[in-house]
Amino acid sequence: MKSKKRIYFFSAMVLVISFLFITMGLNANNWSYALSRRLPKLLAILLTGGSIAFSSVIFQTITNNRILTPSVLGLDSLYLFIQTGAVFIFGSNTVARIGNNGNFLITVIVMIAFSFLLFQLLFKREGNTVFFLLLVGMVLGTFFQSLSSFMQMLIDPNEFMVVQNKMFASFNNVNTSILWISCIGVIGAMLYTFQNRKTLDVLSLGRENAINLGVEYDKVVQRMLIVVAILVSISTALVGPITFLGLLVVNLAREFLDTYQHRYLLIGSTLISFIALVGGQLMAERVMNFSTPISVIINFIGGLYFIYLLLKESKL
């Protein structure tokens, strides 16, 4: 009952903040143009927030660790490597001719294919665990990040400006033509996850207990990791990487809702993610006058919360 009441409260907050985001500063002269800009931006925020929340809940359940997020798989570093490599090899003019739609599709396909290949190779051998996957993901993430930094040092400064725009998440220039493609992928993955919420409840008990309760652990984990890869790939390719958002919203949902049931955790995390992103964008636009990207605000707060969690865990 307490969880339901708090979810209703979060829902009300989302509606209020979204209403302020859409209507603040509107008048008879600018409402048509403002709405044409703000509504697609709000949809992109909701898609990104939902993707990050769902993928982080799934990932923490699989790993049974509250301080891990899907970023340890190296997908954020892979995204930056793809963007940097495209400019380094083909040049910014060629990248511009491909267009935002082509760039989005190529990035999503490469990231999902990389994830699928990685999962298949690692889970094909018996004895490999999720933690071995995390180790390989962290090593590959560091490798991609190092290659990206190396190429960024070599390219022309004007070319680097194109790459720099991809390094931070931004909702200011969302490509509306890819929103509907993103909607299909994100909503489909979220519905699949929600249908398997009871299985996630069992997975949260640990590998041995889940197997004893009849869950085909390895197959379920592989499917859920593919869902995580799809959600992270779409959200990252849509707006850019936001490293600490998943860590922040999922742990806040666990604290506020105080439940193990994923039907509440998934919804609560998503609502808190909406509040953080819409509220953060509202602050970036109205308070900071677009001087600071929303990802910087989120990563700063999330980084502080991450340190708090580490200190809290060390005292237990």
What digits encode the pLDDT tens for the residues 157-205?
A: 887 877 777 776 667 666 677 888 888 889 999 999 999 888 998 988 8
Residue 243, pLDDT above cutoff 60: yes
Residue 128, pLDDT above cutoff 60: no
> What is the rounded distance in angstroms from the CA atom of residue 182 to the CA atom of residue 122?
28
pLDDT digits (tens, 9 = 90+) for 2-57: 778 889 998 999 999 989 888 887 777 777 887 888 888 888 888 888 999 999 99
pLDDT for res 146: 92
174 vs 251, residue with greater confidence = 251
Which residues make Cβ contacts (< 8 Å) with residue 150, sequence separation at least 6?
A: none
The three-point CA angle 212-217-223 to 5° equals 155
Q: Considering the entire predicted model, what is its pTM?
A: 0.87
> What is the rounded distance in angstroms from the CA atom of residue 81 to the CA atom of residue 66?
27
Residue 87, pLDDT above cutoff 70: yes
* List of domains in the chain: 2-15+39-315 (1.10.3470.10)
240 vs 168, residue with greater confidence = 240
**Does the CA dihedral 268-272-277-278 come out positive or negative?**
positive
> What is the rounded distance in angstroms from the CA atom of residue 151 to the CA atom of residue 173?
25
Helices of type H across the chain: 2-23, 31-63, 75-90, 92-124, 130-154, 157-164, 179-195, 197-203, 207-212, 217-239, 245-257, 262-286, 294-315
> What is the rounded distance in angstroms from the CA atom of residue 158 to the CA atom of residue 201?
50
